[in-house]
Chains A and B, each alone.
Chain A
Amino acid sequence: MRDIAFGQYYPVSSPIHRLDPRLKIIFTVMYIVTMFFVASYAGYALVLCFLLAVCLAAHVPPKAMFKSIKGIIILLIITAILNLFFYAGETSVEWTWWIFTVSPEAIDFALKMMFRLILLIMGTTILTFTTGTSELTDAIESLFKPLNLIKIPVRDIALIMSIALRFIPGLIEETDKIMMAQKARGADMESGNIFKRIKAMLPVIIPVFVSAFRKADELADALDARCYQASPKRTKMKKMSFAWRDLIAFLIFAAFVTLIFLDKYLWGGVDQYIVQAFQSLAG
């Protein structure tokens, strides 16, 4: 459990760290949307190359990015299996064994789905790796400022979100500890059917909840003691302003998105051309 990298900040100095956090949030949202338009394996390869390039520019070891998948590996396997056997689209050939039916289209679909999920997680992880929770708060607050007009407390919501993010590693550690303690009392959380397992998790879940409330209590006092909401005009230590760096980043990102869309709508997936090229070489 302690290996989960999600929600952690990677404290180095890099051009990516220095980008305007608002822009990084917008990029991340656009990136997530773009992921649904990737049409070919070459496209996924391009996305991966792009992420690796961003990672290097951010001085974050790519291994750290790959580690973020560890937390969702079970989800990945389950979706892959479901997609593989319950593919509903048209199929050309079907290979059947006992009750299982697999087609090349199903394999294609399952693979693409898996790549999409992996790249989604890795991409969003880069945001949390390179942006401090405080910057995230400020950025969200700034982006959603218009909502203040309809009396939505944007600042509070943004602060809650960023604090939640900061508390994830601590809560995971706590869960780990309590799990060990109950195991030491003979608790068995690894066998039995799903209902048994959920029931077996109660001795862990309840103390973790209690602990989360205790933490929240102390945090609330700490926020008050540090004059939270003292002034109607909260100021910021870090200025958020557009720099040349941001413009360049925007152009690079736009080029990346354009390539993905061109692949889908103009070239109809470049994989076919690559396959043709190989065939003509072989032939």
Chain B
Amino acid sequence: MTAIKLENVYYAYEADEGETPVNAVDGVSLEVEEGSFVAVVGHNGSGKSTLARLFNGLLLPDKGAVTVFGIDTKDEKQIYSVRSSVGMVFQNPDNQMVASVVEDDIAFGPENLGLPREEIIRRVDWALEQVGMSEYRKSTPFRMSGGQKQRLAIAGVLAIRPKVIVLDESTAMLDPKGRREVMDVIHALNQKEGMTVIHITHYMEEVLEASRVIVMDGGKIALDDTPRNVFARGEELKKYKIAPPAVTLMADALADCGANIRRDIAEESELEDAICRLLCKD
């Protein structure tokens, strides 16, 4: 089933007086299948954050239509059913928490939905378990690590029981350990709970973990393929100001210097095999 569908969507932010508005999203059509793990990449200003905000109706398209499980995000009466099916996690975990006690913060979403008390408690339990933070239920997030805080922010979104979770550069401010924690959580959600994940990021190692990657450039979809196929298209990536992961960089450099190595290598073990084929004594 299609989770999110964009049909020829345009969006422009208001421009200063005397300036023509530039389309931040410029004629995008795309479908996201339920249960898929999609990465969105692109240089700063390529329109990817705008795209993310169109997915759950935080922004509404100027032209074209965004539908979430068949509901048009422009339908005012159903905006909250859109928002409760597409959860969104932002960049800075400190700016997403409303309460000073963990469980109160997670409960904020379900409380807004007007759910009965027992259901709220069930959801808080469930959400904390999903992110592996059950023991911190009564704690305060103030002194936690970035990774822990961001996992709580995810739990806060999970508690509204969305079918899709959008992460808008949610790993950008974390250290490698925190990034790993967040990636592990969203993988488990994708695989065990069948949740659709849309992950916007600058880290190409994270893109490798997705089943599909969309490259944005100038508000348009530049490439839309598997990570491997995308990373093999070196010249185009350079044009879109994107660099592939370290392994691909090395494979590409070796190929440039005349070594017989494929350029679409993305995993360490593949590069290892490729080099071994040339150098291992048989």
A residues in contact (CB < 8 Å) with B: 8-9, 11, 13, 132-135, 137, 159, 162-163, 165-166, 169-170, 215, 218-219, 221-239
Contact = CB atoms under 8 A, between A and B. Distances in A.
Interface stretch (B63-71, B105-113, B176-184, B223-231): B105-113
Contact of B157 (A162, A225, A230): A225
B133 to A, nearest CB: 14
14 contacts: A134-B104, A137-B99, A163-B98, A215-B94, A221-B90, A222-B96, A222-B98, A225-B56, A226-B108, A229-B112, A230-B114, A231-B112, A234-B112, A235-B115
B160 to A, nearest CB: 6
B100 A230 contact: no
B113 A227 contact: yes
B110 to A, nearest CB: 8
Contact of A230 (B105, B107, B112): B112
A134 B90 contact: no
Given A218-B90, A225-B56, A227-B109, A132 B100 contact: yes
Task: Pick the most buried of B100, B156, B157: most chain A CB atoms within 10 A of its CB.
Answer: B100
A174 to B, nearest CB: 10
A238 B100 contact: no
B148 interface: no
B120 to A, nearest CB: 4
A221 B53 CA distance: 9
A170 B92 CA distance: 12
A134 B98 contact: yes
Contacts of B96: 218-219, 222
Task: Pick the most buried of A159, A165, A226, A228: most chain B CB atoms within 10 A of its CB.
Answer: A226
B261 interface: no
A218 B104 contact: no
B112 A221 contact: no
Contacts of A222: 88, 90, 95-96, 98, 153
A234 B114 contact: yes
Contacts of B100: 8-9, 132-134, 165-166
Nearest to A238: B104
B31 to A, nearest CB: 22
B116 interface: yes
Contacts of A134: 98-101, 104-105, 107-108
Task: Pick the most buried of A215, A218, A228, A237: most chain B CB atoms within 10 A of its CB.
Answer: A237
A232 B114 CA distance: 8
A218 B90 CA distance: 8
Given A227-B160, A230-B113, A218 B84 contact: no
Contacts of B139: 11
Given A134-B108, A219-B95, 10 more contacts: A132-B99, A133-B98, A134-B105, A162-B98, A218-B95, A219-B98, A230-B112, A230-B113, A235-B110, A237-B121
Contact of A225 (B83, B121, B138): B83
B97 interface: yes
Given A11-B101, A170-B94, A219-B95, A225 B114 contact: no
A229 B108 CA distance: 11
Contacts of B23: none
Nearest to A229: B112
A159 to B, nearest CB: 7
Contact of A227 (B84, B103, B124): B84
A221 B111 CA distance: 17
B113 A13 contact: no
A157 to B, nearest CB: 14
Interface in B128-185: 138-140, 142, 153, 156-157, 160
B144 to A, nearest CB: 11
Which 7 interchain pairs have the tightest Cβ spacing?
A231-B114, A134-B104, A132-B101, A134-B99, A230-B80, A237-B107, A218-B95
Nearest to B114: A231
A243 to B, nearest CB: 17
B50 interface: no
A170 B90 CA distance: 17
Task: Pick the most buried of A165, A231, A233: most chain B CB atoms within 10 A of its CB.
Answer: A231
Task: Pick the most buried of B56, B84, B96: most chain A CB atoms within 10 A of its CB.
Answer: B96
Nearest to A137: B99
B253 interface: no
B61 interface: no
